[in-house]
Amino acid sequence: MNAVIDTSATVPARLEGEFKTLLAKTFSSEPEWLKEKRKAAFDSFCKASLPTRKNEEYKYTDVKKVFSGEFTSVYNEAHKLSLDFEKLFVEKNSVKLIFVNGWLHKDSTLSAKLPKGVIVGNLATDGLLIHSGFLKKYLRNDGDTLSRLNAALWTDGAFIYIPENVQLETPIEILHISTGKKEILASFRHLIVAGKNSSVSVIENNISVDLHSHVIVNFHTDIFSGEDSKIQFYRLQNDCKMVSQITSINVLQEKNSRFDTNTITLGRAWARNNLNIALNGENCESHLNGLFITNGNDHVDNHTFIRHNKPNCRSNQLYKGILDGRSTGIFNGKIFVERDAQKTNAYQSSKNILLSDAAAINTKPQLEIYADDVKCSHGSTTGQLNEEAMFYLRSRGLSEDSARNLLLFAFAGDVIEKIQNEPLKIYLEELISQRLRK
């Protein structure tokens, strides 16, 4: 466990020994099928290794660099955190799950009264100990090579199941904290399953507390959205610059379901976010929104991929970026429309403001359409602050900073407007104005 880490070796080679240790210790009591699954995922990761920049999907995002330090994935320290958790959550009455470096933290409050059959817990205990059969059915090894690395190494994460016909009014809040002195690779995983005609709203907040080393968070989420279900998944990335976060969300939607997601990146971040949505039933709706505010050397890469597999589905994407300093942003949105998926409506828009000459944004829409009766469109704009508006506001007495902040806040507002949870909106508005004030 304390072997010297050879950083010149390839990442699979470096992880091989660690993976064996994890299987023998941390994962030793897991059911055999899961260990097999982990092994298969690990093998598949080893074959592909990390994506390089020759890979079109990673052209602007250097994953190798993130994995170039002396990280370890074998860790499980207890961390004492003296935090005012109240302040870190959006709602008083929500169900709260707290994870630290990918492990469940004891201060989680799962006590809220939940309707019969609803499961809100963590994968490692609630999932594996009580609902192992369920997990066997839903845990998957798909996704890109980093998702497969996660499938091999994941330690814990949220496990949410909403049975048929249950509308869960209480939102579920997941707080993920990165902390400590050790460079780790945290592998974190959620599973969310919403049965037929159910609804659920999940807010996930990522923060760093007392963090003294670079941390890689490789994060995978599987979401199953049953017929007529409604799922909202809000992801907040408020980490410090020591954290490199790779996230992927795979969503399978059945007919008449609606999925809403917002990815709000306000931290000093290095983040790569993958969103893969498969619309597998007719009349589905999917709304993907994102906002990022970057500065310094921040790097935020949002990749979306929506697969319209069935007719009469709608997808809508709005991504906005405010970039300052030498930060870089990427929006890469792919819309794929199967031959059968007639009457598809798919829209995509990426809008960005560059506040400095050294900041850069790359946007790349990709439409691949095999049906003939569809409405698809994409648009992207990149510009500076509107000078006329700046002068107008200043001519009424507003300082340059206030004028700028009002305009940027309004720009960001479009994305916040899409959020359907009022307390979260207020929480974010406060965070965003803080962030804009720097």
Partner 1 sequence: MLSIKNLRAGIPGNEILKGINLEVKAGEVHAIMGPNGSGKSTLSSVLAGKENYQVTEGEIWFSPPSPRGEGSGMRRKNLLEMSPEERAREGVFLAFQYPVEIPGVSNINFLKTAINEIRLHRKQPPMETKDFLKLIKEKQALVELQGTLANRSVNEGFSGGEKKRNEIFQMAVLEPTLCILDETDSGLDIDALRIVANGVNKLRSKDRAFVVITHYQRLLDHIIPDFVHVLSNGKIIKSGGKELALELEAKGYDWIKEKDQT
Helices and strands of the chain, counted as H and E runs: 9, 19
Place of tokens 């994962």: 27
Strands 215-225 and 184-194: parallel
Q: Distance (Å, rounded) from C-alpha 26 to C-alpha 43? A: 19
Q: Min. distance of Cβ 419 from partner 1 in angstroms?
A: 15
Q: Min. distance of Cβ 380 from partner 1 in angstroms?
A: 18
Q: Distance (Å, rounded) from C-alpha 3 to C-alpha 72? A: 10
Eight-state DSSP code of residue 42: H
Hey, which residues between 69 and 128 contact partner 1 (CB under 8 A)?
Answer: none
Q: Min. distance of Cβ 427 from partner 1 in angstroms?
A: 19
Nearer to partner 1, 5 or 406 (CB): 406
Q: Min. distance of Cβ 269 from partner 1 in angstroms?
A: 24
The number of residues that bind partner 1 (CB under 8 A) is 22
Nearer to partner 1, 396 or 437 (CB): 396
Nearer to partner 1, 43 or 401 (CB): 401
Three-state DSSP at 415 gives helix
Burial classification of residue 100, based on how many CB atoms lie within 10 Å of its CB (0-12 exposed, 13-18 middle, 19 or more buried)? buried
Hey, which residues between 378 and 417 contact partner 1 (CB under 8 A)?
Answer: 386, 388-389, 391-400, 402-403, 406-407, 409-411, 413-414
Q: Min. distance of Cβ 356 from partner 1 in angstroms?
A: 19
Nearer to partner 1, 360 or 407 (CB): 407
Q: Min. distance of Cβ 402 from partner 1 in angstroms?
A: 6
Closest C-alpha among 352, 365, 266 to residue 315: 365
Nearer to partner 1, 86 or 387 (CB): 387
Closest C-alpha among 91, 248, 262 to residue 172: 91
Nearer to partner 1, 371 or 385 (CB): 385
x-or-dash string of contact with partner 1, 337-376, rule CB under 8 A: ----------------------------------------
Strands 172-180 and 95-100: parallel
Nearer to partner 1, 29 or 383 (CB): 383
Per rule CB under 8 A, is residue 334 in the interface with partner 1?
Answer: no
Q: Min. distance of Cβ 392 from partner 1 in angstroms?
A: 4
Closest C-alpha among 51, 26, 46, 68 to residue 248: 51
Burial classification of residue 357, based on how many CB atoms lie within 10 Å of its CB (0-12 exposed, 13-18 middle, 19 or more buried)? exposed
Hey, which residues between 182 and 221 contact partner 1 (CB under 8 A)?
Answer: none
Q: Which residues contact 137 (CB under 8 A, 6 or more apart)?
A: none
Amino acid residing at 119: I
Can you give the length of the chain in residues? 438
Amino acid residing at 273: N
Amino acid residing at 328: T
Q: Min. distance of Cβ 394 from partner 1 in angstroms?
A: 4
**Residues in the site for partner 1, rule: CB under 8 A?**
386, 388-389, 391-400, 402-403, 406-407, 409-411, 413-414
